[in-house]
Structure 1
Amino acid sequence: MIRVTCAILEQHGRVLITQRSEAMREPLLWEFPGGKLEPGESEQECLQREVEEELGLKILPVTRLTPVVHHASHQSIELIPFICKYEGGIVALTEHRAYQWAELRELRGYDWCAPDVPIVEEYLNLKQLE
């Protein structure tokens, strides 16, 4: 089981989402940015490191949502989402094909990686309660 964190990065009523490149597994699907936990690293440290490495952004993880366990033919992952605050930086893509600052009402319209789908739903349900 690979443990992976992902950021639901909020800014100005929008959320940052990234599109996987043609060279990545599950090409051109959309996901919340993040990456694999390294030994001895906290979930929050992992998320901050990965988002800075992949996108050039500084973030602050605030609220942990429900992890998603996903089994695919090549591997099983536990995807651990955090709602995050933007702390600084300008998006600089190093691995992904594209990014969007998506409005909440648009999120269901993207072609998501399978593990991200329940996270989108939990996040939108949470936001409807606010």
Structure 2
Amino acid sequence: MNALSVLLGLSLVFAFSSPLFEFYRRSLAEVFFSATVVPSAVEPYFAWSMALIGAATVGWAVTNLFLVITAFGRGEPWSFIALIASTLVWTFLEVLVSAEMGAQIETVFVLAASVSVVLPTAVAWWITVRPGKTS
């Protein structure tokens, strides 16, 4: 998931205006502007804000990558809890705001992304460090 998160973040920074994100841009334009395209007066701000989200996504993914490589590799229980907790907090807040604003596409995307992080992390925790595990 980390590699995909980095790719997604970079694509938000450098390719948000490309056809790759046409469906997503259209969906957000419908929610926030009742139109099929973002108004031209708002487009620079929209692209800038998506680039910031992309940059934050890359930073989050790189941090998690180092967490997985180091602490997971040593079987440190806190590392699994940290990744799961941070993902669940992000998911809760973003789903709450997206649902309130009517951005169903974002809600679906965030829930899918969250499951793709939490499920393998929970399985890795169960296999490696769960309480009562015998070697």
Scaled by the length of structure 1, what TM-score is found? 0.28
The TM-score normalised by the length of structure 2 is: 0.27
Structure in which a larger fraction of residues adopt helix? 2
Structure label with greater radius of gyration: 2
Q: Which has the higher contact order (CA 8 A, sep 6+)?
A: 1
